[in-house]
């Protein structure tokens, strides 16, 4: 079991700006140091009263293809990439000020957020964190078994993902696993960008999402598996991005964990459910939770 370490924040304020992935709004973000025990808190400085919402799974609001946090008037969308950067770089406490409802997409990965964190510096706060929570042995998945996440006890934090959309998918089946540390996260996971199928783009844009995007803003796969106006950073970049999403979503449980997460085709909703289960230490042997089955 890893030893408890001191809590960390960033050394100074840093700024990041860009357009949101889904809504295309221009947004400016400031990452600020925060006191021990604060956690990660988003602050909407564009709204009256500057309302806040904590990065906590209890504040997750419904939304497809992204993680939305909501507390009263404070709604912040597409939080998972920034949360992954903070988690991957070992930042426990941070205030995130933003002047729009969506975190900027930057280049579709979380590398620019990591670079901002490195520029600010990560500093110890001299206050011990609780010991990492040992993952309970259980599997959480949908009833037909096509999507699931398995938690396996262990001494390190390892995230493994299996991506397989079937033999007809433009994205080939791929799997990857990493023992997570800041160095590994920065080199092997943070640069992995979000992706979408060309066949999905029309429906998303018809729903009002991503109308500002081009193929150079994220990975868009044609039916033949080629990319529109872009190139892969790794042959298995999609599965690395799925690991990035997992890390960001699991950060919402509020606990550092030790053990292995094995995810099979999981998305944000299932990742969030795993964070919820870990947070409340559910001990029931078998329970149905919003369409997913948990088996100890």
In the chain, alpha helices (H): 80-88, 111-120, 182-184, 198-206, 237-250, 268-280
First to last CA, the chain: 21
Of 81, 212, 241, 268, the catalytic one is 268
* β-pair type (174-179, 195-197): unpaired
Q: Is 268 a catalytic residue?
A: yes
CA distances from 263 to 151, 197, 214, 221, 248 (A): 9, 21, 30, 22, 14
Place of tokens 């079991």: 1
Q: What DSSP assignment string belongs to 163-174?
A: E---TT-SS--E
30: enclosing H helix or E strand: strand 26-33
Task: Report the catalytic residues.
Answer: 268
């Amino acid at each position: 079991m890893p030893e408890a370490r001191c809590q960390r924040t960033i050394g100074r304020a840093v700024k990041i700006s860009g357009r949101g992935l889904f809504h295309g709004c221009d947004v400016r973000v400031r990452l600020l140091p925060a006191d021990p025990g604060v956690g990660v808190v988003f602050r909407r400085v564009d709204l009256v009263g500057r309302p806040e919402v904590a990065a906590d799974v209890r504040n997750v609001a419904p939304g497809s293809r992204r993680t939305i946090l909501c507390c009263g008037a404070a709604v912040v969308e597409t939080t998972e990439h920034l949360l992954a950067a903070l988690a991957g770089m070992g930042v426990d406490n941070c205030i995130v000020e933003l002047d729009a409802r969506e975190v900027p997409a930057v280049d579709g990965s979380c590398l620019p957020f990591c670079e901002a964190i490195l520029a600010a510096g990560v500093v110890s706060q001299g206050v011990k964190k609780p010991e990492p929570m040992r993952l309970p042995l259980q599997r959480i998945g949908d009833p037909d078994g096509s999507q699931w996440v398995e938690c396996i006890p262990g001494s390190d934090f390892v995230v493994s993902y299996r991506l397989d959309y079937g033999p007809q998918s433009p994205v080939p089946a791929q799997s990857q696993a990493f023992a997570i540390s800041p160095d590994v996260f920065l080199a092997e996971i943070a640069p992995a960008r979000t992706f979408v199928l060309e066949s999905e783009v029309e429906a998303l844009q018809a729903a009002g999402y991503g109308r500002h995007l081009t193929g150079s803003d994220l990975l868009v796969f044609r039916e033949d598996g080629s990319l529109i106006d872009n190139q892969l950073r790794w042959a298995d970049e999609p599965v690395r991005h799925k690991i990035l999403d997992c890390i960001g979503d699991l950060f919402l449980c509020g606990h550092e964990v030790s053990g292995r997460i094995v995810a099979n085709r999981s998305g944000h909703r299932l990742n969030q459910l795993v964070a919820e289960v870990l947070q409340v230490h559910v001990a029931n042997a078998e329970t149905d939770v919003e369409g997913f089955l948990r088996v100890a």
